[in-house]
Amino acid sequence: MSAAQAFFDVLWGARMALLGGLATTVLVSLLAVLAGTLLGVVVGLVLSYLRGPLNWLVRLYVDFIRGTPVLVLILASFYVLGTVGWKLNALQAGVLALAIFCSSHVGEIVRGALGAVPRGQTEAARTLGLSFPLTFALILLPQAARIALPAWVNTAAEIVKASTLLSIVGVAELLLATQEVIARSFMGLPFYVFAGAVYFAVNFAIERLGKALERRLATDTTQ
């Protein structure tokens, strides 16, 4: 039996475990990006519009999270939350850590995007008699969103890559599922290449999407 044949036999035998791992990777990433984006928009709004203690507190949060490696966030969330009486399983603790990581990045993206909308836009809206909530919803938000979109897509790809770190605390996502197959079959080389190729495919697709969006959106904002 050739090596390739042996690899495909093991691959076929483990297809359910690997597909389950991929599904977990996708689920974890989606949840983390979703929760992280919601929280990150709030963070960005506070950083852009509030002054005083709350602003400093959020600034500290963002700088602290951005200065800490994701792996440390995941390990801390996994070990610490149980100790303080918040019973989360590894998957929940991991999603929480990724969401917090995501929120700090999205917060900075949102702040940057809102800052990049020319002041004249707000002034014009005010002159037309729009209240601040209306100015924000109708004038600032649509323009900031298109500025933020490419960076946000990049963050999503970062989260997919960071989700591999959950394997270290025992979440059976794609990498851990692959490692379990390797432990049984001793086929480290082809299966690491396989896992790498799957992640590459997912992230490459996300990257292309980001580039396409960037091209589409970049055209008429600079007029």
Partner 1 sequence: MGYTLNFAAVWRDIDLLWAGLAMGLLLALASIVVGAVLGLLLSFVLISKSRARPLAAAYVSVFRNTPLLVLVLFTYFALPQLGIRLGKIESFVATLSLYAGAYLAEVFRGALLSVPAGLSEAGLSLGLRPWQTRLLIVVPVMLRTALPSLSSTFISLFKDTSLAAAIAVPELTYYARKINNESFRVIEVWLVASLFYVATCVLLAMLLRLFERRLALPK
- Site residues (CB under 8 A) for partner 1? 63-64, 66-73, 75-76, 79-80, 82-85, 157, 160-165, 167-168, 175, 179, 182, 188-189, 192-193, 195-196, 199-200, 203-204, 207
Indicate the residue among 47 and 117 with the shorter CB distance to partner 1. Answer: 47
Nearest approach, Cβ of residue 133 and partner 1 (Å): 35
Residues 139 and 121: beta-carbon distance below 8 Å: yes
Indicate the residue among 48 and 68 with the shorter CB distance to partner 1. Answer: 68
Candidates 97, 99, 94; CA nearest to 43 is 99
Nearest approach, Cβ of residue 178 and partner 1 (Å): 9
Indicate the residue among 124 and 197 with the shorter CB distance to partner 1. Answer: 197
Nearest approach, Cβ of residue 144 and partner 1 (Å): 23
Residue 219: CB atoms within 10 A of its CB come to 9
- What is the H or E stretch that residue 121 is in? helix 119-127
Indicate the residue among 117 and 160 with the shorter CB distance to partner 1. Answer: 160
Cα–Cα distance for residue pair 125/133, rounded to 1 Å: 11
